[in-house]
Chains A and B, each alone.
Chain A
């Protein structure tokens, strides 16, 4: 009995030793990535939080949430938040749905499929500066679009300095991002198990039923990924807007990053950091909701 206990103890000890060993080696393998994330993401983010709670970047006196109060009361910040969310709410769903539509279209056996694919992917290859140049030629007050509209008797529209500026930026965003999203959806559509689609066909499911009951369920993780990427890209549309309209654009296209960029130029790190922290909190909440949604809709899908 004692001997058996001893053997069991020995076995347990051996097992624990193996687990510890596995843990150690896993830790070692994960260390470089962890170090990278720590150095390039976690620590800088902590620095940003630190700056958001000090009076200025030089004296660095702790002021608690004072900067958050100042930022939340600032009209420019409020305007930037409103514009950014208004843009994201319009542009992200459009980017997801239109790219899915394109992916479905290109999945069908259409003529010139590969040419279409290349056409939609080409904006990804064009540098931002050139994109902006094209957009300026098209949408400036004396640009091509106004020239075209003049043929139909439409008065000139100041596309970038009026309420229409929002529309222009949404079109620019879609033009730039549809191709990438489309490729992701095409890959996801191609990976749906063929036997399930075959069964659905044998069960006399029509195209819409197949799409909504099978394809959409299998695409849920891609939906999530594309939505998150589009959301992140929608926050980055500032780059194009900045190059089109400089640091103080028409107020409808003044984005959160304009606010941050202008604060950086003024060395106002505390307002910049507070805005960044607030933005990241909102992003985390939105992405969390998206994850929960995906979990709910994709729970019965394999893989």
Chain B
């Protein structure tokens, strides 16, 4: 009986354990609180308040800034592109009230023919400041060290801006290869310690070099001073991860204890009044305790809607809050940020919008997300990426990585908790639309106070309207087309494959393009012309026909590989009809202006060959994002897209492609008609009305390419290679292409 009872109890126990194990799989709370997996206590959050640190006037630049004793020190100079003498001004402002500031005109070292830049500066305990100037000969080649053409000046100023001493440090350095100081600090007794490669040099209070310490490392990462006067140099960690700090005795110039476990290769480490260190990591701000040699994350930059890389300097205030100098790369000015510790429960709850991308998102959208997060009181966007590029270096199979990422993305897109916005770069918009993944943006635009259909270039919205659904609106675009002399192809755009071959036959000694290979020629003929051989509606294709064999034979006329040894003067060869076509990715009017100026005769955007000989110019939209149709935060997702697309660029000339917004595009065109610029040694006159009209005509006539053709082009290119190598006949290759392509076309019918 007791044995039976024991069996029952153990069975019950096993069952209970199994149930608990299974139950653990679905612990939503644990999954939702994934953010806590980093060990950060999120009971409190650091809320940022941003104050712009304006230079003296709007045309001035802020350079080299530091925080010290709740004061911000920064140097500034009026911007002028050709100015050699920069007339630096040092500004010392109260970090909590920037209006309380002292400006000191500091005289920089002068040396004829040398450009002067500030390498950095430090403040000592008495308020004197030390500025390191780099003087580089104006003729010096960028990135090449030229001993004669470079020198470093150390200038000490008192707290009124008067020069105490000025020293040329040229002869200080033992190393012949470099005289660039990567970091320097001031000791409590006013000595200056400078690190150059693996050596630390000590300069006395009179500015005279005293002695040097050659460390065992190849490269000193930086010098660090704590508020109580301890000095350290940092070096890469033993295991190759993180860093270590080595204490230095500035008087005896000996090394002391080594402190390990600095979590990252941080370029910013500051001492606090409590004897601890603040370490800026890429994702977290850490506090490092010398006693335990342990770094603890204090805050996550993303929790505070900030980017770690943008933090220039930092300090811990007496009340436990933080003060930062912050340089957002998308902005022209620096900012002072106060991070105030706030109970998470006191903060207004923001709706989380998930922005998903297959590969890494572009820098511009990352910045737009940061900006949106900073401004929005209602929404917070978090990014999610499916493909982890870093794993490519770990030896994992790239195909497996891609397939895993794709599976993950599909599971997300079809699941009950999908992302809200999807980055459509390198994804098939057609497939996603066909499967109902993308939301129609038209109703949102109709309701929007900020965006109107009329605000956008009409061709763009039409191009991205698939099955009556506006699936995305790209931010910028370019036109992909072919350009030829009007005298060769006439002035009307559009031609067929036979026309192209005929042109090549008319000029048998000419190359179709510069540096053109067999594969390039094949791509040119097929890239936007697959409909000549594949009918997706009927699910049939005809690659084993004489027409396609003719294309293969035509492509085979060209070179196997690009001849990189001899450089071709494309302009001259094009002028002399030795090169017949130029591939143009037109993203700016200036591209066309330069062509017109270079070739000096009428040009036609003839386009890629198409089946029916229509205009073969194609729109390639960039920075396209869509809203997921079954997202539960569609309003928030639209709020971001509205803000992203509605944000006017401060400077349209800074846009590297045509803007999809009509107003901005018009501004770009207008700007082109007003601006003269230099190209190589030519003065390019402002664009003429005819040139601008031609660009307009090109944009209006351009179509959206069929992105479904990627796999088809891959099959053709793979198989054609064996014909180009002479291993198989064109007929055999055409037969294989037909076999493989027929499956692809049938699948997509």
Which residues on A are within 8 Å of B, measured CB to CB?
28, 31-32, 55-59, 74-76, 79, 129, 141-142, 156, 158, 161-162, 247-252, 254, 258-259, 262-269
Contact = CB atoms under 8 A, between A and B. Distances in A.
A266 B428 contact: yes
Interface string B706-749: 00000100010001001000011000100010011111101101
A251 B740 contact: yes
B11 A28 contact: yes
Given A56-B435, A141-B722, A158-B728, A75 B749 contact: yes
Contact of B736 (A56, A76, A158, A265): A158
Q: Which among A59, A141, A142, A267 has the highest number of chain B CB atoms within 10 Å?
A: A267
A250 B727 contact: no
B722 A250 contact: no
B179 interface: no
A268 B431 CA distance: 8
Contacts of B539: 74-76
Contact of B437 (A158, A161, A250, A267): A267
A250 B736 contact: yes
B739 A250 contact: yes
Given A250-B740, A251-B739, A262 B434 contact: no
Contacts of A158: 728, 732, 736
A17 to B, nearest CB: 16
Contacts of A56: 434-436
B740 A249 contact: yes
Contact of A58 (B397, B435, B727): B435
Given A56-B434, A250-B736, A79 B743 contact: yes
A79 B745 CA distance: 13
Contacts of B428: 266
Nearest to A270: B435
Given A28-B11, A266-B428, A266-B431, A259 B739 contact: no
Contacts of A162: 736
Contacts of B740: 248-251
Enumerate the 8 nearest inter-chain pairs by beta-carbon distance, A residue then B residue, closest first: A76-B746, A75-B746, A58-B436, A56-B436, A76-B747, A57-B414, A251-B739, A267-B435
Nearest to B407: A264
B398 interface: no
A161 B436 contact: no
Q: Which among B18, B434, B746, B749 has the highest number of chain A CB atoms within 10 Å?
A: B746
A248 B410 contact: no
A10 to B, nearest CB: 22
Interface residues of B, number: 36
Contacts of A247: 711
Contacts of B414: 57-58, 267, 269
Contacts of B728: 141, 158
B415 to A, nearest CB: 10
Interface string B401-412: 000001100100
Contact of B630 (A58, A129, A266): A58
B312 interface: no
Given A59-B436, A250-B739, A269-B435, 20 more contacts: A31-B15, A55-B436, A56-B436, A57-B435, A58-B437, A129-B397, A141-B728, A158-B732, A247-B711, A248-B741, A248-B744, A249-B743, A250-B736, A251-B739, A252-B739, A259-B747, A266-B428, A266-B435, A267-B437, A268-B434
B410 A264 contact: yes
A161 B736 contact: yes
A73 B467 CA distance: 23
B151 interface: no
A192 B99 CA distance: 100
B637 interface: no
B529 interface: no
Contacts of B727: 141-142, 156
Contacts of B11: 28
Contacts, number: 91
13 contacts: A56-B434, A58-B413, A58-B437, A74-B746, A74-B747, A79-B743, A248-B715, A248-B744, A249-B740, A251-B739, A259-B747, A266-B435, A268-B435
A264 B740 CA distance: 19
B325 to A, nearest CB: 46
B435 A161 contact: no
B435 A79 contact: no
Contacts of B715: 248
Contacts of B413: 57-58, 267
Nearest to A242: B399
B187 interface: no
Contacts of A57: 413-414, 435-436
B432 interface: yes
Contacts of B739: 161, 250-252
Interface of B: 11, 15, 18, 397, 406-407, 410, 413-414, 428, 431-432, 434-437, 539, 629-630, 711, 715, 719, 722, 727-728, 732, 736, 739-744, 746-747, 749
Q: Which among A28, A75, A141, A252 has the highest number of chain B CB atoms within 10 Å?
A: A75
A57 B412 CA distance: 11
Nearest to B437: A58
Q: Which among A79, A156, A248 has the highest number of chain B CB atoms within 10 Å?
A: A248
A129 B400 CA distance: 12
Contacts of B437: 58, 267
A111 to B, nearest CB: 42
B224 to A, nearest CB: 49
A258 to B, nearest CB: 8
Nearest to A32: B18
A266 B414 CA distance: 12
A267 B431 contact: yes
A74 B436 contact: no
Contacts of A75: 539, 742, 746, 749
Nearest to B414: A57
B648 to A, nearest CB: 34
A82 B456 CA distance: 50
B62 to A, nearest CB: 49
A249 B732 CA distance: 15
A41 to B, nearest CB: 16
B743 A251 contact: yes
A248 B716 CA distance: 11
Contact of A248 (B18, B406, B431, B743): B743
Contacts of B746: 74-76, 79
Contacts of A249: 740, 743
A161 B740 CA distance: 9
Contacts of B436: 55-59
Given A58-B630, A268-B435, A269-B414, A251 B747 contact: no
B469 to A, nearest CB: 13
A218 B142 CA distance: 85
Nearest to B630: A58
B17 to A, nearest CB: 11
B747 A262 contact: yes
A129 B743 CA distance: 25
B749 A74 contact: yes
A29 to B, nearest CB: 8
Contacts of A259: 747
A265 B406 contact: yes
B711 A248 contact: yes
B258 to A, nearest CB: 45
B427 to A, nearest CB: 10
Q: Which among B11, B406, B436, B539 has the highest number of chain A CB atoms within 10 Å?
A: B436
A146 to B, nearest CB: 11
A258 B11 CA distance: 45
A141 B722 CA distance: 9
B21 to A, nearest CB: 11
Contacts of A28: 11, 15
A81 to B, nearest CB: 13
A154 to B, nearest CB: 16
A262 B740 CA distance: 13
B262 to A, nearest CB: 40
A262 to B, nearest CB: 6
